[in-house]
Chains A and B, each alone.
Chain A
Amino acid sequence: MTERVAATPGIYPLPDWAKGTLSDLKGHQKGDLLSGDEGGEIAEAYDEVRAEFVDDQIEADLDRVVEGQGRWDDMIAHPLTVHDEVETGGIVRYYDNNNFYRDPRVVGDLDFSGDVAGELESARALLEEAGSGDAPLAATLPGPYSLAALATDEHYGDDDEFQAAIAEFLAGELEAFPAHETLFVLEPSLVTNPPADGTEERATDAIATVADATDADVVVQTFYGALDEKLYAHLVDEAGADALGLDLVAGDREDTVYNVQEYGSTDSVALGLVDGQNTLVEEPGTIAERVEWFEGQAPAADFETTYLTPNTELFYLPENKYRAKLSALAAATEVLE
C-alpha cells in the first residue's frame, strides 16, 4: 500500500508585511541582500517569518514541515551566497524566469558554514513550542549539479573538482542538520541544462555524495519539465535517491511517463502536481486524479511513498495563493485515502 505524503521543498514567498519590513530594514540594492551574519531587527523579522511559515504548514496539515527558507534571497543559490569564501557578483537571471539572483563567485575552499543547519534548528524549536514536536521535518538543499551550474568558480579551476567540492560542502552542511524525516535535493538544472552525453555519472556521483550524508529519505526533485531519458536512467540507478521528483506540470508529462515505463523508477516517487508558477489553485480532486493517472501507468508494483508536491519552489506566487496551494496538496492526500 503506497503511503501518500503531502510535502513541499519550501522557498516560500515572504508574507506581504515582511516584504515591506525587510526591504525597509535591508534596502533594495544588490549590496543590501543577506550575507548570513544578520542580527537585531532583521533577524527578528526572519524569526517571525519562520514562525508564520511553520504555522501555515501546521494549519494546512502538510505531512512534512519545512523551514520555508524566507532568508534565501538568492533562491537555491543561498547556501553559497552567504558563505565566507564566496563573493557575490552581478545580478543574473534565475533559469527562464523574470527572477534574478546574485552570481556566487567561489574564491576559496568551501568549508563548513552551518547556515542552513541553524535555520532547521530554529524550525525544530518552533515545532516543539507549537506542541508538534514529533511532526516530521523536511530539510531542503540545492543539488550539487544545479548549485555548481549557478555558481562561478574562481578557486578550484576545474569543473569536476568544483562540482565535487560543492557536493562535499553540501554533505558537510547536512551532517550538522537536526533530525529530519526527508531531505529535498533541488536539481532543476538537470532539466534545463543537462550534463553532456557521457558525463551523467559525474552528476549522479555528486548527488549521491549528498544523499549518503543523511539517514533521512532523500527526494531528488527535478523541475521545469521532463528529464532526458538517458539521464533519467542514470538518476534512478546511481543518485542514491529514495524518490526522484518529477515535474508533471511543466513540459510534456507523457515524456516523464515514458521514462518511468521504459527505465523503471526509484522505490518512492515525488510528483510535481500543483503549479508553483501559476495562481490558479488546483482542486484537491484534480491533484488526486493526477496521482492516480501517474501511478496507474507505472509498471512497477506499488511505490513505497508517493510525495505530493508543487512542481517548483513556491516563491513565485503571491502569499494568498501559496497558502491555498499548501492546503490543496494536503487535501488531495485525504481524497486518496
Chain B
Amino acid sequence: MNLKLIINIAQSLLVARWRQTLVAAVGVTFGITMFIALLSFMSGLNDLLDGLVVNRTPHIRLYNDIRPRRHQPVTLWPAYQNTYPMISSLKSGNIRQEIYNSGPIIQALQQNKAVLGVAPTITAQVFFNDGTVDINGVINGIDVKAETKLFHFDDYIVAGKATDLNTVPNSIILGIALAQKLVANVGDIVQITTSTGAIFQLKVVGFFQSGLQDFDKAQSYASINTTQKILGKSSLYITDIRVKLYDINQAPALAKSFARIYGVDAEDIQTANSQFETGSFVRSLISYAVGITLLIVAGFGIYNILNMMIYEKMDTIAILKATGFAGRDVKAVFLVIAIAIGLFGGITGLISGFGLSVVINHIPFHTAALPTVKTYPINYNPLFYFIGISFSLITTYLAGWLPARKASKIDPVIIIRGK
C-alpha cells in the first residue's frame, strides 16, 4: 500500500471538511485536557494526603515490643519437655526497650542496598510543668539530619530552625498546640519532669505543626543526646530504628528478615497504615475512570463525524474504487483520518492539560496540615501524558475502525447506478 498517497488523500478530505474535523478534534482535546488535569490534580492531592502519613512514617520500624517472654521457666524444665503447659494470668515481662547492639545494626542497615536511610530515635514520656499544671507529653530524641532527609522534618517546622537542636544544648522543638498550652515562645525555657522524677529545663528553639491536632498537643523533639541525658541513659541507648527503603513494596518482606537477623520486632508501613494504600488506590481508580469516560465520549463524537463524512463522501469513495483503489485503501484513508484527529486533538489536549495543571497549581490553598503547601498540589508525572496520548490514539482508532470498514465495503456499482 502506498502510505504517502493514502495520507495525501486523507489530508485532502480532512481539509475539505475542516469544520467537522475541528469539532471532532476539540472533543478529543477536551477529553485529554480534563484527563491530564484531573489525574495530575488527583495524584497531587493523593501524594499530599499520603505524605501526611507516609512522609513521617518509616517503611520499617525496629523496636522491642512489650510482651510476655517467649520462654517461660516451665518450658525450660526438663520434666515438662514433652508436654503442653497451660499458664494462667501470664504477665508481660520486664523486657528492655533498648535495642541491643544498636550501633552495629545501624551500620549494617546503612550498608544494605535496599535501604535509603536509617534514623535512630528514642522516646521519653515526660510531664511538662506549667506552673501548677503538669501536661503529659512525649519527647522524641532524633537525629535531625537523618530525620530531615528521610522524613521531611524541616517541612513541618513553623518557627525556628530544626538544626538548632544540634547546636543549642538542652534544646527542644514543641508541637504548636503543646506550645500554646504552655504559653511558650521560641527562646523561652520549659521545665519537664521525667517518669523517674528528674527535673530538666529545656530551651524552646522552634515549633512544629504536623496537621494532626492530637499529635501536636503531645509531641516534641529533642536531639538524641539531650533525650539520653533526660532519661539518664548512656549514649548507646536507642529504642527505635526507623528505616526508609528505596522501594516501599519490599517493606513487609524486609521487615520479616530484619526481625529475624537482629532479634527485634519489626513493623512495616503496610501493616501499620494499610488504610492509606486503599484510600489512594480508590482515588486513583476514580480519576482514571472519569478520565477514560471522557475519552470514550470523545470517541463516540469521532465515530459520528466519520460516519457522516462517509455518507457525504459516497461518491468520492465510489470513484476511488472505480479507478483502482481497493477496499483496504479506502479503509486506510478513513483510519488515517481518525488517527490524525486523535493525534492532533491529543497533542493539543496534552498542551492545554499541562496549562490547566499549571493554573490549578497556582490557586492558593492553605491547610493547617501542611504548613509548606501554599497552592493546590499537582503531580506532573510524564506517565499521565503518555497514557493520555496513547489512549487518545487508541480511542480514535477504534472509533474510526467501524466507519472505515463500512467505507471499505461500499459497492461502487450501487453508488454509480444510483443516480
| A and B: interacting chains | no
Chain B residues in the interface with A (C-beta under 8 A): none
